[in-house]
């Protein structure tokens, strides 16, 4: 189902890739921007966990460091660990995260019982990060997810809204 078809008032968990398509101006940018505008305007209720913010910020830091310091993406973590003062030279990543935080999005807690994540890994054959998202959704009664990740199709009982 397309992101553009989400009914008004729906509670939707937002996967990191939705934000990254916008940040990196990738193929689904328009659909994702329109979706996030609906979140901002409170037409749709947006939810995520701190884990989504971590995923997004990590990629934003990598991309900015790669461009700014002229290093390959796969070398950014090591570079910044060896040169931690260079992190203060980054700005675009912090600005982008601030824009995300300014949306009308509710940040949900992650489960304290990691067994919920393990159960989702096994039951739906998911990697841990995706299983954590499902556990957060289940804890909060959210049955809709905005994502481009087809792995969530294996999860019974959720509605997947994908950018087109």
Q: Which two tokens stand for residue 85?
A: 């003062």
- Please tell me the predicted confidence (pLDDT) of residue 63: 97
- What's the whole-model pTM score? 0.94
Q: Taking the domains of the chain in order of start, what are their residue ranges?
A: 3-53+103-161
Q: Which two tokens stand for residue 2?
A: 């397309």
Mean pLDDT to the nearest integer, 45-71: 97
CA distance linking residue 90 with residue 156, whole number of Å: 41
SS3 content of the chain, % helix, strand, coil (to 5): 60, 15, 30
CA distance linking residue 13 with residue 107, whole number of Å: 10
CA distances from 69 to 24, 54, 76, 84 (A): 18, 22, 9, 13
CATH of domain 3-53+103-161: 3.40.50.1010
* Percent of the chain at pLDDT exceeding 70: 100
- Please tell me the predicted confidence (pLDDT) of residue 90: 98
User: Would you place residue 71 in the very low, low, confident or very high pLDDT band (cuts 50, 70, 90)?
Assistant: very high
Query: Which tens digit of pLDDT belongs to each residue from 85-109?
Result: 999 999 999 999 999 999 999 999 9
């Amino acid at each position: 189902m397309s992101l553009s078809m989400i009914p008004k008032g729906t509670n939707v968990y937002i996967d990191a890739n939705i934000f990254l398509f916008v940040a990196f101006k990738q193929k689904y940018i328009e659909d994702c921007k329109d979706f996030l505008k609906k979140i901002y305007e409170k037409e749709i209720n947006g939810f995520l966990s701190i884990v989504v913010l971590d995923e997004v910020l990590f990629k934003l830091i990598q991309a900015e460091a790669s461009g700014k310091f002229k290093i390959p993406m796969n070398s950014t973590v090591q570079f910044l660990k060896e040169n931690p003062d260079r992190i203060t030279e980054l700005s675009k990543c912090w600005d982008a995260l601030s824009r995300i935080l300014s949306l009308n999005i509710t940040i949900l807690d992650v489960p304290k019982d990691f067994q919920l994540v393990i159960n989702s890994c096994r039951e739906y054959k998911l990697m841990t990060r995706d299983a954590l998202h499902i556990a957060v959704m289940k804890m909060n009664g959210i049955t809709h997810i905005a994502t481009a990740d087809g792995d969530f199709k294996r999860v019974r009982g959720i509605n997947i809204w994908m950018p087109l």
